[in-house]
Amino acid sequence: MSGFPEWSPQQRIVEKRVLEKIEESFRLHGFINIETCGVESYERLVKKGDGKEIYRLSKAGSGEENLGLHFDLTLPLARYVLDRKGDLVFPFRRFQIQKVWRGERPQGGRYREFYQADIDIVAKGEMPAHFEYEVPLAMCHTLKSLSPLGLGTFSMHINNRKLSEGFYRALGIEDVEETLRRIDKLDKLGAQKTRQILEQVAGAKGADACLDLAQIKEKDPDVLAEKLESLRAKWGVEGPSAERDLMREGEEDAKAVLRALLRSGFEGACIDCAIARGLDYYTGCVYETFLDEDPALGSICSGGRYENLISTPKQAFPGVGMSIGVSRLLSHLFSKVKADRISPAWALITVWSEEERWRSDEAARILRERGIACEVSPSAAKLGSQIKRADRLSIPYVWFISSDGGEVKDIRTGEQKKADPATWEPDPKYAADIIVRE
């Protein structure tokens, strides 16, 4: 089934560890876990997503249902928050790690079923700007915590919708959303083609100016300010105006993110005025994150601030969120690390004969009671073939149980000694079950 990835038991160990590290970091940052069901109202999905990619459910006999599989975790969050707005404590910091489904054409790093790991902070009423740095800060920490699992350095690219919108409006461009959508294609289409499609909405001068803004990529907040100043001068929009104020506001919010990341020790962030994000619900900072050694993999962690995604006409629920594309990350990590264990068992308990299997069962019971994972040999075959099973499953120890006691052998070193299941401890050096490939 193309696009529906399934991992080997060893790859699953890596996936599980990645998910656990992400979750641990989300908790460290005070995010609360929720899980939503896999389905949403089909109408809502179609309204917010790409209809061609949405899986709708039907049942023999009752036909099409008003249900589809969720394609992200933001839409479910919106429903969850509105369903429980009377019970949740706002600002609501939530994390959610689940599979989502998109019927895209499968290609490198893109799947039809994949894990997303999201954090969002949803406020009631007004949302303070500092959340726009808290969320990317938590994400930088989270991604950094994956470096023992082979994740290299990464760059977070930050932009702000107000910055782009203010500039576009100052240039006289009316359809800001469509301009953003076209700028978003710059990466895929290249400058020349993007200029052509921009010209249709922004005019010739507008297209050139938009592309000029999109070229700005800067790590230093002060240099950024200078570059934007000369950009405005070049295109004749430097005078005071409401549009210019909006642009400045976006600039300040974006720089605040950059500064907070720098304060926290992250130097891999930049303001990248080409980042537009396809989704039209973003209203403030937007973020994308690329692996330095494999930028072609695409963004591995993206998001932004939104005002109206959750809000109702009666009540505002602005928020900011980011999402890690875990399965895409994994497709990269599998080439960097591998699992050193297959079975979680520390020991295989051999069996002398089926009549004496109960002795091995009893030793296993005692070990498990003490929290030591083990398995009893499936057959009373020759010892060599029992040990071979331990070896093939990367189980580090083999136990030999007899009526007068037991012996345990470290099959990696060959060392064998008398031992008692009631007191024996495995060497913790075998606990590390993921190793970095050379």
Q: Which of residues 337-356 bind its own copies (CB under 8 A)?
A: 342-345, 354
- CA dist 118 and 126 (Å) reads 22
User: Closest approach of Cβ 437 to its own copies, in Å?
Assistant: 19
Among 17, 18, 21, 31, binds its own copies (CB under 8 A): 31
**Residue 362: what are its φ and ψ, rounded to 5°?**
-65, -45
Q: Would you count residue 147 as binding its own copies (CB under 8 A)?
A: no
Residue 88 within binding range of its own copies, rule CB under 8 A: yes
Residue 93 interacts with its own copies (CB under 8 A): yes or no:
yes
Piece of 187-195, 219-227, 364-372, 427-435 that binds its own copies (CB under 8 A): 364-372
Closest contact distance (angstroms) between CB of 342 and its own copies is: 6
> How far is residue 111's CA from residue 116's CA, in Å, rounded to a whole number?
12
Nearer to its own copies, 6 or 438 (CB): 6
**173, 198 Cβ separation under 8 angstroms:** no
385 binds its own copies (CB under 8 A): no
Q: Is 60 exposed, middle or buried (0-12, 13-18, 19+ CB in 10 A)?
A: exposed
Neighbours of 2 (CB within 10 A): 8
Tally the residues of the chain.
Answer: 438
Which of 51, 172, 278, 295 touches its own copies by CB under 8 A? 51
* Choice between 196 and 379, CB closer to its own copies: 379
DSSP state of 85: T
CA distances from 287 to 74, 75, 136, 302 (A): 15, 18, 8, 5
428 lies in the site for its own copies, by CB under 8 A: no
Contact between residue 290 and residue 300 where contact means Cβ atoms under 8 Å apart: yes
When asked if residue 30 is in the footprint of its own copies (CB under 8 A), the reply is yes
Determine, following the binding rule CB under 8 A, whether residue 236 of this chain makes contact with its own copies. no
Name which of 136 and 206 has its Cβ closer to its own copies: 136
| Cβ atoms of 305 and 277 closer than 8 Å | no
Please say which residue, 4 or 196, places its beta carbon nearer to its own copies.
4
Residue 297 lies near its own copies (rule: CB under 8 A): no
Which residues have CB under 8 Å from 323's CB, separation 6+? 72, 73, 74, 116, 117, 118, 301, 302, 303
Q: Does 298 bind its own copies (CB under 8 A)?
A: no
251-270: which residues touch its own copies (CB under 8 A)?
260, 263-264
Window 157 to 216, contacts with its own copies (CB under 8 A)? none
